[in-house]
Structure 1
Amino acid sequence: MNKTLLSAVTGVTVLGMLASPSSAAGAAAARTPELRQEDALARFEHQEIVWHGCRTGPDDAAGKRLDAAGARCAALTIPLDYANPDGRTIKVAISRLKATAPGRRRGVLLINPGGPGVPGLSQVLLGPAVPGIAARYDLIGMDPRFVGRSAVASVGCRWNTGTFVRSAGPSRDTFDEAAALMRRLAAGCAGSDHGMLPHASTRNTARDMDVVRAALGAPKLSYLGVSYGTYLGAVYLRMFPDRADRFVLDSAVDPGAYGPGLLRPAGPAMEAALRNWAAWAAHRRDHPHLGATAAHRRDRPHLGATAGRVLATVDEIARSAGRRPLRVGSYRVDAHLLPYVLAVQLADDGKEAYAGLAADVALLRDAARGARVVPTASLDRLLKDALTSAGEGFDRAGTPVLCADRAASRDPDAYFRDIQAHRAGEPLFGPMTRDLSPCAFWPAAPAEPPTDVRTDAPALIVGAAGDPWTPHVGQRAMRRALSGARMITLRGAYRHGVFLAAGAPCVDTAVTRYLVDGVLPATNTTCARNGATGG
């Protein structure tokens, strides 16, 4: 996975059930149609930007990398509530890496890595990987409101865990355990300033982007967004179509499903990605894209001679974790956590990632059989981030965004019925993707209803046909909503994030051509990693 563009998979881990916005949110919509109070916003849009070095201290490795690349950073003042621009203000942090060919500069390109909750300042480091794009655009990174350097002390979730994503497990008792955890996590966010929580929304982040555009003196904004960033980009296209230039949406979410229930349809796609990995792990010589040398096959842990046997090994691990937590070093991997551990690693279908997952599954199998095991370095990082507050913990920043964007059902029984209805077809991942989230117990209602993103503004949508996190059916829903867009689907790929990450020249070339020359494909197309295309 391209770690520059896709900072973390955990940023997309959202779940729950969709529900209609609360009546309070509907009432708020009447007073906030688009909130474009030109005169009141002028002081924000024309503020002077004071650029400075990005490093904040000797331990700021990210800032050091930005400074070494020649980037500069700044903080802009924005309204907390765009319906009351004369009221309270907050700050958003931005970074800029100037176009390498000033004489051919086209404008500014803002890059969002997804999430919600993932900082964006470091995204300008993408520049050397895309020299043609970096020549034409000032690359802009932004930590969205309440995230990273744009964080506000009184907003956020005080958790001793990195993510709220858990499976409901195999029974009603384990479901009740998961619900109790979500209630505790929501309470950990309840200490926040409740008056600020409703303003964490994607609509407000889109408004912030437009203030950044105006303050930079750019008549239009170009954009590259991944995962959740595709929804943010679509919201901007809907709200500010005349200010949008060239927009690329990579691994698009279903705009009608986005919110606490974003992952609800993802169970079948995750199961399909697991089967794809199992075929690789079984040493199938005819496996497309992921063939390996005989030496590589000998190095793989033996998990089964066929894909079915490999999946049976995973089932064995799941049954054991359902009886008692697996001891993995100092960690405990139970039925709530196991599906998350697998799903996170299925976001990358490259050989190295698949080999890492195979090693971790072999380790979990040994733990299920009673052996004392020590986690691999990558598994240790994953478990530390998921189970403690020591890791990045993007969900601690992203949960207020999800809960501000769309209200969630507050009926635990409705979630349990949905899980049971789909358990046979989605036995491993369905209880995770359909489980409830802290939004089911959230202390503040959304200030506005979700955005209907339908617009004819042009855009380029790219994604993998087998994406386990934002399934292709949702990518197609985004394409239908954006009637002026074109879509490129990478066949035979089971990964999340394709531009510069999938080794697919057909995608990389099309994205670069659109951003540099403004040329969209004539029609929606499919292509393979080897470059073969189809209609």
Structure 2
Amino acid sequence: MTALLTVTATVLGTAVTAAAAAPAQGPATGLARFHHQDVRWAQCVAPPMPEGTPQDEVDKWNEAWRSMDCAAIKVPKDYRRPGGDTLTVNLTRFRAKNPAQRRGVLFLNPGGPGVQARLQPAMHKETALAGSYDLIGVDPRGTSRPDRLLCDLPPGPRPFFSRPTDAQLTAIEKYARQNEEGCRRAGGDLRPHISTANTARDMDVVRAALGEEKINYLGYSYGTYLGAVYGSLFPRRLDRSVLDSSMHPDWSYYKASWQQSVAARQNVDAWAAWIAQRDNTYHLGTSAAEVRATIDELGRRLEKHPLPDPNVPDAGPVDQTRFDLILGLLSAARPRWHVLAQLANHFREQLPSSGEVSRDASEAMRLLASGREEPEQEDGTYTAVTCERDWPGDLKAYYRKMRQFRDEYPYGEGAMAAAPTACTFRSFTPPEQPVDLERKGYPTGLVVQNEYDAATKYEGGPAMARKLGHRLISIRDEGTHGVYRSNPCATQKINDYLLKGRLPDQNSWCEGAPRPDIPADHSGGGRAEDRGPEKSLTSQARSIIKEHPQAPAMKPWPARAR
């Protein structure tokens, strides 16, 4: 499951239940010592980068961290017993550039769950928001040392197949069971206390320790749910809020997961229709159905004869699963559609000669997939948070769903998005029920959603806006994930709201990033060979990144574990 997502349970067979959980509570008592603790800021020191990282990347990394102040605070491990054990939460700050125009603090969260937020202020320091807000990054509980929650991974690689055979379904189930056992063993009694509600409570401790009456908030992806939970628990402490690429307020984590493969199929279908109109250029088919048949046949050939990728040894060869991931990734970003077609043709050309992935193709994939995924970690926070809600317990239902998805929705993560996870076999009972989302006592905010978002499906945006009575901004014909800093029109509307309090009209729209400027057949634009020599895949990838620097990406190969 790509980092995400969502909030209420759906029933599919027998569910893993938490009947003993108590209702979620708002502000706790006995927190004075946490609210009044000293926050000791010091200039941040960059964590070391992996050996062999190019020096220019190291320099940018170090500069980003030096631009911020770092601190750590203590929070209760269990808010029902604030006099007991504590946890450490790390935070960062980028001070407002114009102190005279400062209007408070803006908390930033990148989503996840389980993704650290400390680098967020540096990532937003060149935005208009940095002039008037102290930008604050608060690491979610369980991600900060020394209290980081980990899982012991099962031995060997994770079974990951976009179109698994029936025999592979059993291996996927076995791994999920082993993953839960490893999380139980490594997480101990900390796991039940790693939750969205407790992370929201930590945010309020930070607010109080900073001496702020209220916070403002910008959250992405799963961070939208975190922001909605904070506002529901602490309505008098939230001022302006923006929920960017929202989770659906009424979907379970499981439904949110498999909806990603549904979204991937929508994006591949749109790409196939566009490619079919340019068969003189790409030779993949003259209809969307023909293009899909061509790429599916190519996937079957790659499964029988995977192409080695010597340039990225850790990724493994390009087989059907990796090709399905590439299709889901690049079809989401409209400006990259032509590069996806060229990659498909590159793989077709290499197969007859039993070749390998060229350095050009490998570098293009690396560039287009960089900059959005955290380094792989044996992280237990993601699992603990996604287990805070009940998951279906009927394994036969999972198997039926995966068989359906390998046939109908194989792109992106395909059937893996419908697979059982550690949460299917959850070994702990959450101590409280999920928070009921509501907006009572804080101002109208914004929900911003791309029409074909491949990670948090579009339906989540309108649903969250209705749930909270927020204004909705939609981005037409856009499949990427994350809007602010990516779409100029929406970015301006968000700035106007956060800086001036100016709300857009309800249900306003912006145009997404343009599709490649390549004429359709018979449009008078000329054939590809009439427009000069084609650039290398790498040079095209660099051009795309320069023109659309914030287009989100994910690795076009499966992570070892989730």
Band the TM-score falls in, shorter-chain normalisation:
0.7 to 0.9
**Alignment correspondent of 2:103:** 106
Q: What residue is the counterpart of 1:33 in the other structure? A: 25
Based on CA coordinates, which of the two structures has the bigger radius of gyration? 2
1:247 corresponds to 2:231? no
What is the distance in 2 between the residues matched to 1:177 and 1:339?
20
**C-alpha distance in 1 between matches for 2:209 and 2:188:** 29
1:320 matched residue in structure 2:
301
Counterpart of 1:180 in structure 2 is: 174
Q: Deviations over 1:65-110 (max 9, x none)?
A: 33442x1000111111111111111111111011111111111001
Amino acid paired to 2:438 = R
Other-structure match for 1:464: 450
Looking at structure 2, the residues matched to 210 and 435 of structure 1 have their Cα atoms a distance apart, in angstroms, of 35
In structure 1, give the amino acid aligned to 2:4: V
Taking the aligned partners of 1:358 and 1:438, their CA distance within structure 2 comes to 36
Q: For structure 2, list consecutive stretches of 5 or more residues without a partner in the other structure.
A: 51-57, 515-562
User: Do residues 448 (structure 1) and 432 (structure 2) align?
Assistant: yes
Q: Partner of 2:518 in structure 1?
A: none
> CA–CA distance in 1 between the matches of 2:219 and 2:318?
33
Q: In the TM superposition, what whole-angstrom CA distance separates every residue of 1:399-455 from its partner, at most 9, and x where no partner exists?
A: 334344212223321211233456654354652322222211233232222222132
Cα separation, 2, equivalents of 1:407 and 1:521: 37
2:522 aligned with 1:526: no
Which residue in the other structure is 2:533 paired with? none
Q: Report the Cα offset of residue 336 of structure 1.
A: 5.2
Q: What is the aligned-residue RMSD (CA, Å)? A: 3.6
Secondary structure at the counterpart of residue 510 of structure 1: helix
Paired residues of 1:346 and 1:495 also in contact (CA < 8 A): no
Instruction: Name 2:462's counterpart in structure 1.
Output: 476
How do residues 161-200 of structure 1 correspond to structure 2 at under 5 angstroms?
166-167=160-161, 169-200=163-194
Does the CA-based 8 Å contact 1:168-1:174 persist in structure 2?
no
Question: Aligned in 2, Cα 1:482/1:163: closer, same or farther, shift over 3 Å?
Answer: farther
Q: Distance in 2 between matches of 1:26 and 1:191?
A: 23
Aligned residue for 1:513, secondary structure, equals helix
Check the 8 A contact 2:16/2:426 in 1, yes or no: no
Question: Greater shift after overlay, 233-242 or 339-348?
Answer: 339-348
State how 1:266-305 maps to structure 2 within 5 Å: 266-281=260-275, 284=278, 303-304=284-285
> Separation in 2 of the partners of 1:501 and 1:412?
40
CA offsets, 1:187-241, max 9 Å, x none?
A: 3323213210111111111111111111111111111111111111111111111
| Residue 115 of structure 2 is aligned to residue 118 of structure 1 | yes
Equivalent AA in structure 1 for residue 78 of structure 2: D
Q: Which residue of the partner structure matches residue 501 of structure 1? A: 486
Match of 1:218 in 2: 212
Identity level (%): 33
Q: CA separation in 2, counterparts of 1:355 and 1:496? A: 20
The equivalent position to 2:198 in structure 1, one of 204, 216, 236, is 204
1:343 matched residue in structure 2: 328
The answer for unaligned runs of 5 or more in structure 1 is: 1-8, 286-296
So what's the TM-score if we normalise by structure 2? 0.78
Change in CA separation of 1:321 and 1:392 when aligned onto 2, cut-off 3 Å: same
C-alpha distance 279-114 of structure 1, shift in aligned 2 (>3 A): same
Q: Is the 8 A contact 1:225 1:233 kept in 2?
A: yes
Which residue is 1:55 aligned to? Answer: 45
Asked if 2 retains the 8 angstrom alpha-carbon contact of 1:76 and 1:92, the reply is yes
Provide the C-alpha distance between the structure 1 equivalents of 2:377 and 2:274, rounded to a whole number of angstroms. Answer: 31
Q: Given residue 424 of structure 2, which amino acid in structure 1 is its aligned partner?
A: A
| Structure 1 residue 341: Cα displacement | 4.2
Q: Does 1:137 align with 2:133?
A: yes
Partner of 1:4: none
SS in 2 for 1:222: strand
Specify the SS of the correspondent of 2:106: strand
Runs of 4+ with deviation above 6 angstroms? 13-17, 160-165, 381-386
TM-aligned CA deviation for residue 255 of structure 1: 1.9
Instruction: Tell me how far 1:342 sits from its aligned partner.
Output: 3.4
SS at match of 1:27: coil
Q: SS at 2:188's partner residue?
A: coil
Q: Describe the SS at the equivalent of 2:3.
A: helix
Q: Is the 8 A contact 1:10 1:394 kept in 2?
A: no
